[in-house]
Amino acid sequence: MTKISDFIGKNARLNVQEAISRAKDKEEYHALLSLTEERALERADAVDRGEITGRLAGVPFVVKDNFLAYGAPTTAASKMLETFNAPLQATAVEKLELEGAICIGKANLDAFAHGGSTENSAFGPTKNAYDKSRVAGGSSGGSAVVTALDIVPFALGSDTGGSIRQPASFNGVIGVKPTYGTVSRYGVVAMASSTDTIGAFATNVADAELVMDIMAGKDDKDMTTLPDFFTPSPAKPSLKVGLIKETMTDDVDPEVKQATLQYIEHLKAAGHTVDEVTLPIVKYALAMYYIIVPAEVSSNLARYDGIRYGHRAGDVRTLAELYGKSRDEGFMTENKRRIMIGSYVLSSGFFDAYYLQAQKARTLLVNEFNKLFENYDVLIGPTTPTPAFGLGENTADPIKMYLADIMTVPASLAGLPAISVPAGNSESGLPIGVQLVGQRRSDATLLALAKSLEEL
């Protein structure tokens, strides 16, 4: 697979032209919603003239289309923002551009990042890189697929409950969700502000580490960014690793369990110790998530009112009608479900039983994680219960779709760093991913561990 280093020191215009031609050859996967060809070529020429330099000079990449970026509309894969031309760029994109990276296009997602398959895109689903009859995963499905298809060496995504890790595992690439607050979210369409994070897809851990190193850091434009802490570090010998028992139940696909156990054998062979540990509250994590996240979604998506930007319904007479119709036409069904569930759990009479109870349960979850981290450096389990499911298989049943996030939401609720690394394929050739979870701010340790295993 291609690496960032394959593009360094080459003619940047050629890098961009070739990436765009690969993207066009693979249009059938529907991984990209737009190409930013004109701007990309201008920037490539500036790199070739030596006007732009840096650690990623001339390296093409793709952003999920919920990142505000120049050169094409930022749609969030919705009718609501179909023609929205961003007047600013996300800090994460700006930082990569300052190092010479060149954005060539914008990747498909579930509209407003609500979903786990990229089937909720208003512009049609993305197909899995290994089997076009299966889903890409989501919500950052397009970003995972462009990386897996070698269109670009890395891509950006956002991860609120698994939206980077789950599609990374479905497409056999590295997916990094950092500690909450590591990377600025300025200029990224907000979903659930207490768990939204920005991360990356890459074909190898070293590249993911480099991209995270460039994007990480405090940003005055995002008050939730943490003081700078992320610095790539060498691998630590003999870590204590805990295999989370609750992620290896009979509900989990046997091949997924087998791949996880095999990865654990590699960990042991590399001198790490692995014990089975228990995180009993994890079985409630999905219920917490589907209260807290819709609550925050209902609040964050209130801004789409058809007034200042975004879709405005025609043929309305009153302001209330304008809000209601613009939102009904601009949102997908899953957006509406989440907004309405959010309105329900926040409404008077239900607030204590749902929202407050979920936030208290979240404390119990954080406490259970903290207790494990008194004795363990890293926790491990499968990234998803199954390999990629079929297109259309779960669309009729939202709960079934939500269950695909069951392994990934706990780290999101606790703000922990987590990465998905490829751990082989199923017999039918579908990728399987293993998830490594660490304490807050232990991102560098996780990446170093994954990198050392990749090198074996």
Partner 1 sequence: MTQISRDDVLHLAQLSSLALADDEIDGLRVDIGNILNYIQQLGELDTSGIEPTYQVTDLQNVWRDDVIDDYGIDREALLALAPESQNGQIKVPKVL
Please return the burial class of 10, using the count of CB atoms within 10 Å of its CB with bins 0-12, 13-18 and 19+: middle
Whole-number minimum distance, CB 418 to partner 1, in Å? 13
Nearer to partner 1, 73 or 232 (CB): 73
Nearer to partner 1, 123 or 284 (CB): 284
What are 367's two structure tokens? 């406490």
Local structure of residue 353 (DSSP, 8 states): I
The Cα–Cα gap between 285 and 361 comes to: 8
Active site residue 133: no
Nearer to partner 1, 266 or 441 (CB): 441
Residues 6+ apart with CB under 8 A from 383: 162, 165, 166, 168, 169, 175, 407, 408, 420, 433, 434, 435
Whole-number minimum distance, CB 262 to partner 1, in Å? 32
The answer to whether 113 touches 158, Cβ cutoff 8 Å, is: yes
Active site residue 64: yes
Whole-number minimum distance, CB 14 to partner 1, in Å? 32
Pairing of strands 154-159, 60-64: parallel
Of 155, 113, 156, which is closest to residue 138 (Cα–Cα)?
113
Whole-number minimum distance, CB 303 to partner 1, in Å? 11
Nearer to partner 1, 294 or 431 (CB): 294
Strand ranges inside 31-164, DSSP E: 32-35, 60-64, 102-107, 154-159
Whole-number minimum distance, CB 68 to partner 1, in Å? 11
The Cα–Cα gap between 62 and 132 comes to: 21
Question: 188 pairs with which residues across the strands?
Answer: 67
Of 289, 296, 294, 331, which is closest to residue 310 (Cα–Cα)?
331
The helix (H) or strand (E) run that includes residue 356 is: none
The answer to whether 128 touches 116, Cβ cutoff 8 Å, is: no
Whole-number minimum distance, CB 325 to partner 1, in Å? 5
Question: CA-CA distances (angstroms) from residue 83 to 54, 196, 208, 310?
Answer: 32, 24, 31, 7
Name the active-site residue from 117, 139, 184, 420.
139
Q: In a 3-state reduction of DSSP, which class is residue 333?
A: helix
Name the active-site residue from 121, 143, 163, 298.
163
Active site residue 442: no
Nearer to partner 1, 331 or 376 (CB): 331
Alpha helices per DSSP H over 11-119: 12-25, 37-48, 91-98
Whole-number minimum distance, CB 441 to partner 1, in Å? 10
The answer to whether 166 touches 400, Cβ cutoff 8 Å, is: no
Whole-number minimum distance, CB 336 to partner 1, in Å? 6
Nearer to partner 1, 261 or 322 (CB): 322
The Cα–Cα gap between 116 and 123 comes to: 16
Nearer to partner 1, 24 or 221 (CB): 221
Alpha helices per DSSP H over 216-346: 254-269, 285-300, 319-330, 333-346
Nearer to partner 1, 3 or 325 (CB): 325
Task: Give me the active site residues, please.
Answer: 64, 139, 163
